[in-house]
Amino acid sequence: MVLKIDLEKGLVYEIISEKNEQIYPLASEEAFRLVSRAWLRAGWDVKHVYTFTWLGRPIIQLPDDLVRIQEVIFTVKPTLIIETGVAHGGSLVFYATLLKAMGIDGRVIGVDIEIRPHNRKAIESHFLFPYITLIEGNSIDKSVVSKVQNLVKKDDIVMVMLDSKHTKEHVLAELEAYSPLVTPGSYIIAMDGIMHWLGNAPRTQPDWSWNNPKEAAEEFLRHHPEFELAVPEVLFNESLLTEPVSAVTYWPSAWLRRKTIG
């Protein structure tokens, strides 16, 4: 993709080939989509998401995605949020913050194949740790899945976030393992599907075009009619955009919602 942006004229030029050029007003959804994609790629290259913390813990997420998941959590009001992939614990603290702010007597479970001692110490000493349970082990190992299952209460409203190993095989196995826990109307979210179009960007692999969470989510949906791809409804929109959630995200095709009964 080749773009030319003329801020003086307020135009975006998409150069498809030598004889094929599309021109869009800067104040158009198509221009916003193209420029956003370029910005996302540049952000990946410079590791933009590695510059944020949440209440003292590094949180390696795109801020747009965090605001959107906040909207979903406020709407669904889960009492149990399960996340595979802990890293520094920032996302766990973020979810715990939302539960506390909403007055929900809920819990957050974090699963990771390795929770490094300095991260464990920081998470366990955090003032929101009473909301958090850490489980160390492979997220698709039967014993680990069983530990998580045993922490689910009968009346829990469960939401699941998948952010550990991002291969298609692993994410698909996680979807199979944890989707039965998801409450109707709630979500299991396969994060970081942006991998599928990053191409030859830094820190990528040649197989990422097919070996990614987006592909896993789409395959899962083909075999699980009880789930649907449901990009969250925008709760407030006075913009010129009709699909703002999909324009700036690391999570394309991520939002798998369990259908309600009846």
**pLDDT block averages, 10 residues each, the chain of length 262:** 95 93 96 96 98 98 98 98 98 98 98 98 98 98 98 98 98 98 98 95 96 98 98 94 92 96 68
The answer to whether 254 and 227 have CB atoms below 8 angstroms apart is no
Q: Which of 218, 201, 210, 213 minimizes the C-alpha distance to 250?
A: 213
pTM: 0.96
With CA atoms as reference, report the closest residue to 164 among 188, 145, 140.
140
Q: For position 262, what pLDDT does the model report? A: 60
Residue 198 burial (CB count, 10 A): 18
Contact 78, 158 (CB under 8 A): yes
Give the integer Cα–Cα distance in Å for 135 and 26: 47
Share of the chain above pLDDT 90, in %: 95
Cα–Cα dist 120/124, whole Å: 6
pLDDT tens digits along 113-147: 999 999 999 999 999 999 999 999 999 999 999 99
Q: Within 10 A of 79 (CB to CB), how many other CB atoms are there?
A: 18
SS3 25: strand
Q: Please give the domain boundaries of the chain with CATH numbers for all domains.
A: 2-46 (no CATH), 54-258 (3.40.50.150)
- Summarised one tens digit per residue, pLDDT across range 15-24 is 999 889 999 9
Residue 1, pLDDT score: 81
Q: Strand pairing of 80-84 and 158-162? A: parallel
